[in-house]
Amino acid sequence: MTIIFQMKIIKTETKDGLILNGLLFEPAEKTCKIIINIHGMSGDPYSSSFYPAMISLYPANKIAFLSTENRGTHSVTQFNTTEGTTQNIGNIYELFDDCLYDIQGWVNKALELGYTEIWLQGHSLGTSKVIYFMDKTPSKNVHGIILLSPWGMMEFDKEEQLPHARLLLEAEELIAKSKENQILSESLFGDDALMSAKTYISFFGNKSKTGIFDYSSPNSPWEAMNMISVPVIAFTGDKDDGIVPDLDPYEAMKILESQLINCPTKKTIVFDGADHDFSGFGDRIAREVISFSS
């Protein structure tokens, strides 16, 4: 029987002392190339519908695949620390800026394992984290970027406008009372996306750094995207509720591509029938990535 890949559970340590877990799928033959996946809001390293295709197809094409935890894993996750204590974080309590620690921790681990060609793959909120990391922590070791459902997080549709205004006010009032860890009374995105006051301000406050993909302002500079100088491939679907119904997804990808002004190679793909989580489209994504990154 031919062995296509080997799976390992690995760990990394962040600069601020958090211990994160990841699943590493390596080709049978040694390779220098690795794709590091950064999941989205309340996500995890193992349950996305597109993981199985990547777990098999990436290693079969001599690319290692590392699916990672970050401090936004699940709604609440208890993480071990390098000091021997634990911290409860998860999506409810994370702060967006801290993604810099998490992604750098995984880049460091990949380099430690001998990988010299690193590609960062983000899904949903993870796409904002990847671009923010590249803007704030330029790395010669990152050779390319894969964006799955790049979401304009600061753009609210009509049904979300009023709840957002209420939640923003509630979060500001709680923080003023030193109750930044109190969970807000409702969620914009369902019960699996409840947030503390500090997290809501971090993600959706007036000074939030999450608004990487500003589709409503196509002619304004997207500063973080404008600075990207490595190849980028981006995917969405015509049923992606992170973009639709506010904007035609084909138009959104044209806008995104136009903002990659320093990018040497770029490609955007819209899958007809694909939702935000790309259910049933994992094989097609993986094959496009393999071709683009070769």
**Domains of the chain, each with CATH number or no CATH:** 5-154+213-293 (3.40.50.1820), 159-200 (no CATH)
The pair of structure tokens assigned to 188 is 């914009």
Distance CA 274, CA 191 (A): 23
Spatial CA neighbour of 193 closest among 278, 92, 44: 92
Q: Where are the beta strands (DSSP E) in the chain?
A: 5-13, 19-27, 33-38, 64-68, 78-80, 86-88, 117-123, 142-148, 232-239, 266-275
3-state secondary structure of 26: strand
Largest CA distance in the chain: 63
**β-bridge mates for residue 12, sequence order:** 20
Distance CA 268, CA 262 (A): 16
**CA atoms 43, 127, 278, 29: torsion sign:** negative
Distance CA 20, CA 248 (A): 37
Task: Say what the pTM is.
Answer: 0.95
Cα dihedral value 199, 70, 47, 241, nearest 10: 40
Distance CA 242, CA 236 (A): 9
In tens digits, what is the pLDDT along the chain, a chain of 294 residues? 455 779 999 999 999 999 999 999 999 898 999 999 999 999 999 999 999 999 999 999 999 999 999 999 999 999 999 999 999 999 999 999 999 999 999 999 999 999 999 999 999 999 999 999 999 997 789 999 999 999 888 777 666 778 899 999 999 999 999 999 999 999 887 766 899 999 999 999 999 999 999 998 888 889 999 999 999 999 999 999 888 877 899 999 999 999 999 999 999 999 999 999 999 999 999 999 999 999
